[in-house]
Amino acid sequence: MRPSARRSRCSPVLEQIEGSRAVAAAVARCRPEVIPAYPISPQTHIVEALSAMVKTGELAPCEYINVESEYAAMSVAIGASATGARAYTATASQGLLYMAEALYNASGLGLPIVMTVANRAIGAPINIWNDHSDSMSQRDCGWIQLYAESNQEAADMHLLAFRLAEELSLPVMVCMDGFILTHAFERLDCPTQEQADAFLPPYEPRQVLDPAEPVSIGAMVGPEAFTEVKYLAHLRQMQALEAIPELSAELATVLGREQGALLSSYRLDDADTVVVALGSVLGTIEDTVDSLRERGVAIGALGIKAFRPFPLEDVRAALGRATRVVVIEKALALGIGGILAQNVRNSLGSHSAVVHTVIAGLGGRPITERSLTTLFEEAVTGRLAPMTFLDLNSELVERELERAGARRRSGPHAENMLRDIGVVAAGPV
- Residues in contact with other proteins by CB under 8 A are 1, 3, 5-10, 14, 16, 18, 42, 128-130, 177, 179-180, 183-187, 280-284, 286-287, 364, 366-370, 426-429
Q: Which CB, 116 or 284, lies closer to other proteins?
A: 284
- Residue 332 CB, shortest distance to other proteins, in Å, is 20
**Buried b / exposed e along 73-111 (16+ C-beta atoms within 10 A):** bbbbbbebbbeebbbbbbbbbbbbbbbeebbbbbbbbbb
- Residue 205 CB, shortest distance to other proteins, in Å, is 39
**Cα separation, 256 vs 242, whole angstroms:** 21
- Residue 367 CB, shortest distance to other proteins, in Å, is 6
- Residue 174 CB, shortest distance to other proteins, in Å, is 18
- Residue 364 CB, shortest distance to other proteins, in Å, is 6
**Cα separation, 282 vs 291, whole angstroms:** 14
**Cα separation, 42 vs 38, whole angstroms:** 12
**Cα separation, 323 vs 272, whole angstroms:** 5
Q: Which CB, 46 or 164, lies closer to other proteins?
A: 46
Q: Which CB, 39 or 283, lies closer to other proteins?
A: 283
- Residue 21 CB, shortest distance to other proteins, in Å, is 11
Q: Which CB, 80 or 180, lies closer to other proteins?
A: 180
- Residue 124 CB, shortest distance to other proteins, in Å, is 16
The bridge status of strand 354-359 relative to strand 324-329 is: parallel
Instruction: List, in sequence order, the alpha helices (H) in 296-368.
Output: 312-318, 340-348
Q: Which CB, 323 or 373, lies closer to other proteins?
A: 373
**Cα separation, 301 vs 271, whole angstroms:** 9
**Cα separation, 24 vs 423, whole angstroms:** 36
Q: Which CB, 14 or 217, lies closer to other proteins?
A: 14
**Cα separation, 311 vs 66, whole angstroms:** 37
- Residue 86 CB, shortest distance to other proteins, in Å, is 31
Three-class SS state of 174:
strand
Q: Which CB, 106 or 190, lies closer to other proteins?
A: 190
Phi, psi for residue 265 in degrees, rounded to 5? -115, 140
Q: Which CB, 223 or 428, lies closer to other proteins?
A: 428
User: Using an 8 Å Cβ cutoff, are 306 and 244 in contact?
Assistant: yes
Q: Please, what is the Cα angle at 19 between 15 and 21, to 5 degrees?
A: 75
User: Using an 8 Å Cβ cutoff, are 75 and 98 in contact?
Assistant: no
- Residue 290 CB, shortest distance to other proteins, in Å, is 9
**Cα separation, 241 vs 312, whole angstroms:** 10
- Residue 184 CB, shortest distance to other proteins, in Å, is 4
Q: Please, what is the Cα angle at 32 between 169 and 148, to 5 degrees?
A: 70
User: Using an 8 Å Cβ cutoff, are 50 and 64 in contact?
Assistant: yes
Q: Which CB, 185 or 226, lies closer to other proteins?
A: 185
Q: Please, what is the Cα angle at 159 between 156 and 160, to 5 degrees?
A: 90
Beta bridge partners of 273: 299, 324
Q: Which CB, 114 or 281, lies closer to other proteins?
A: 281
Q: Which CB, 10 or 232, lies closer to other proteins?
A: 10
Residues in the chain: 429
- Residue 207 CB, shortest distance to other proteins, in Å, is 41
**Cα separation, 273 vs 277, whole angstroms:** 13
